[in-house]
């Protein structure tokens, strides 16, 4: 390179740093949602994430396996209609008389409003010891393995306890999909980034329930704020025998199951 070109480049490059600095100064000094800051939380004020902490309760004995939660979730969150792309799904556990366990995902590839219901039970009824449905979704762990493994810090926990994916930062490497012990994430076939349950974040910040909780016909799903003294979920946790999935992994899930059979993983 000629000395003249190098010097010309340097003359352009050095003032560019000053411009960058002035741009950076124009940015606000502190992020708006500083965790733990509740000083701005007055009644009637705009939503303050730091004063909430969300979780979900699921009562196994109420789930009838109709699959409407899956459909509502797909409708609300633009999840692809094909099976195997799910933010929430329902498993059918069948414990046979010889103590073997059969786990099947209930039929999802159907439009209930067109009435494409059919049973997908593959086990002969005479062989059944007991059988029940287990709705599953992202457990929104307090200690989430998916956040730890993300190489570009695209997934993170919000102050209100929801784990979100930055779709513009995610590079679609699928590490988080592998890391999730609950299989709650999938690669969105259109955007090619990781997608997962957000507890319908856009609904809960407006005081609405997540879509699956909203439409559940038997109220098998309970949604609430763990910071509140008298939310439905707090009562659910207080009054019922609570279990979480895979407690030995120390992920500390915030999806609590009542009446969970020991066979459920």
Decide: 229 and 240 in contact? Cβ < 8 Å.
no
- Please report how many Cα atoms fall inside a 13 Å half-sphere around the Cα of residue 23, on the Cβ side: 6
Tokens linked to 82: 């094909």
Residue from 65, 135, 224, 253 touching another protein (CB under 8 A): that is 65
Q: Does 168 bind another protein (CB under 8 A)?
A: yes
Residue from 54, 133, 256, 257 touching another protein (CB under 8 A): that is 133
Determine the Cα–Cα distance for residues 110 and 234; give it in Å rounded to an integer.
Answer: 35
- Please report how many Cα atoms fall inside a 13 Å half-sphere around the Cα of residue 63, on the Cβ side: 29
Residue from 7, 11, 12, 24 touching another protein (CB under 8 A): that is 24
Determine the Cα–Cα distance for residues 239 and 254; give it in Å rounded to an integer.
Answer: 16
Site for another protein in 225-264 (CB under 8 A): none
The site that binds another protein (CB under 8 A) totals a number of residues, namely 68
Site for another protein in 88-127 (CB under 8 A): 92-94, 112-117, 119, 121, 125-126
Decide: 66 and 217 in contact? Cβ < 8 Å.
yes
Q: Which residues bind another protein (CB under 8 A)?
A: 17, 20-21, 24-25, 27-34, 47, 49, 61-68, 72, 75-77, 92-94, 112-117, 119, 121, 125-126, 128, 131-133, 153, 156, 158, 164-169, 198, 201-203, 205-206, 208-209, 211, 214-219
């Amino acid at each position: 390179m000629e000395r003249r070109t190098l010097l010309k480049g340097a003359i352009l490059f050095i003032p560019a740093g000053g411009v960058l600095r002035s741009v950076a100064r124009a940015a606000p000094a502190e992020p708006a949602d500083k965790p733990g800051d509740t000083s701005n939380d007055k009644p009637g004020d705009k939503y303050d994430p730091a004063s909430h902490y969300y979780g979900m309760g699921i009562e196994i004995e109420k789930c009838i396996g109709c699959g409407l939660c899956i459909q509502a979730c797909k409708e609300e969150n633009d999840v692809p209609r094909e099976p195997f792309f799910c933010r929430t799904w329902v498993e059918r556990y069948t414990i046979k008389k010889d103590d073997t366990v059969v786990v099947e995902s209930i039929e999802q590839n159907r439009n209930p409003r067109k009435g494409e219901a059919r049973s997908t039970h593959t086990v002969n009824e005479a062989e059944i010891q007991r059988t029940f449905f287990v709705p599953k979704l992202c457990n929104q762990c307090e200690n989430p393995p998916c956040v730890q493994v993300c190489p570009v810090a695209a997934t993170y926990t919000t102050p209100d306890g929801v784990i979100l994916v930055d779709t513009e930062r995610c590079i679609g490497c699928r590490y988080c999909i592998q890391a999730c012990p609950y299989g709650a994430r999938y690669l969105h076939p259109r955007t090619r980034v990781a997608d997962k349950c957000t507890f319908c974040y856009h609904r809960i910040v407006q005081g609405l329930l997540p879509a699956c909780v909203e439409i559940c016909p038997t109220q098998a799903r309970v949604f609430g704020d763990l910071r509140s003294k008298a939310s439905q979920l707090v009562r659910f946790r207080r009054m019922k025998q609570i279990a979480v999935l895979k407690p030995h992994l120390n992920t500390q899930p915030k999806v609590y199951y009542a009446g969970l059979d020991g066979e459920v993983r």
